[in-house]
């Protein structure tokens, strides 16, 4: 069963798409703004994203760029913007398809089928194991040497974001927005504090990290 994220701030349309996609066998997640869409995409295994460009908190183009920074999930833009330059900008930003409103449901379903075929199956990442600790994503806990490691809710959010995207750079701004919200995108000192705490709890040698890697001036990545 494929999982599709539908992002639109029009509640009736969001509900209609949710009902119709479920009726055709899809698991459907929904978001009504860009920040929620990015957080959901980060924490979920998706086969496709249906994205409106006119969102209340940020432009849909920025959502596309944010997703494309670390994800190859197919993105279908669903927008009332008909101008050819808007379509070109969306496709250049990383969208895979562009459907204008109003649209035919059968056409949209055909495009979703094509998108989910391209995305292919993805592995179930219930847990992530390293030589020094195990992150149980389903149970939301960390074990080190068979003993549970106590993490604060914020520490867990940061660690989960990193381990769900192994070897991918998560920029400072992405991490701040996803963990604290858009208003904190410049508060990089928060990251230094929490990453240092995670290293003390998880790394064999915190001063020489093996797993939670700093990319100077850019962000962090989890190296399994």
pTM beyond 0.75: the answer is: no
**Residue-wise pLDDT tens digits, 73-110:** 899 998 887 778 888 888 888 898 999 888 888 989 99
Kindly report, residue by residue over 142-172, the tens digit of the pLDDT.
999 889 999 998 999 899 888 888 888 888 8
Angle made by CA atoms 208, 214, 215, in degrees to the nearest 5: 135
Per-residue pLDDT tens digits for 30-52: 999 998 998 888 878 889 999 99
Residue 163 in tokens = 């381990």
Q: Determine contact, residues 89/46, Cβ cutoff 8 Å.
A: no
All CATH 1.10.10.10 domain ranges of the chain, comma separated, are: 127-222
DSSP 3-state of 110: helix
Assess if CATH 2.60.120.380 describes domain 127-222: no
Sheet with 75-79: list strands edge to edge.
Answer: 27-31, 3-7, 48-51, 75-79, 97-100
Write out pLDDT tens, residues 105-133.
Answer: 898 999 899 888 766 555 445 688 899 99
- 182, 58 Cβ separation under 8 angstroms: yes
pLDDT at 212: 96
**Consecutive H or E run containing 4:** strand 3-7
3-119 CATH choice from 3.30.565.10, 3.40.50.2300, 3.40.1190.20, 3.90.380.10: 3.40.50.2300
């Amino acid at each position: 069963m494929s999982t599709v994220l539908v992002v639109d701030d029009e509640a009736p349309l969001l509900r209609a798409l949710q009902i119709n996609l479920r009726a055709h066998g899809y698991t459907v997640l929904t978001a009504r703004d860009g920040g929620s869409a990015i957080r959901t995409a980060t924490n979920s295994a998706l086969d496709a994203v249906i994205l409106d460009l006119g969102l209340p908190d940020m432009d849909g183009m920025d959502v596309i760029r944010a997703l494309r920074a670390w994800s190859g999930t197919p993105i279908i833009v669903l927008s009332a913007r008909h101008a050819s330059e808007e379509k070109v900008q969306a496709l250049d930003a990383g969208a895979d398809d562009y459907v204008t409103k109003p649209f035919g449901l059968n056409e949209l379903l055909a495009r979703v089928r094509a998108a989910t075929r391209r995305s292919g199956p993805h592995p179930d990442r219930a847990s992530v194991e390293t030589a020094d600790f195990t992150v149980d994503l389903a149970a939301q806990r960390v074990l080190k040497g068979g003993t549970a490691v106590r993490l604060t809710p914020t520490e867990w959010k940061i660690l989960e974001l990193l381990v769900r995207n192994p070897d991918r750079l998560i920029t400072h701004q992405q991490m701040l927005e996803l963990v604290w919200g858009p208003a904190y995108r410049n508060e990089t000192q928060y990251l230094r504090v929490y990453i240092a705490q995670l290293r003390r709890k998880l790394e064999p040698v915190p001063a020489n990290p093996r797993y939670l890697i700093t990319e100077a001036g850019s962000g962090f990545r989890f190296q399994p």
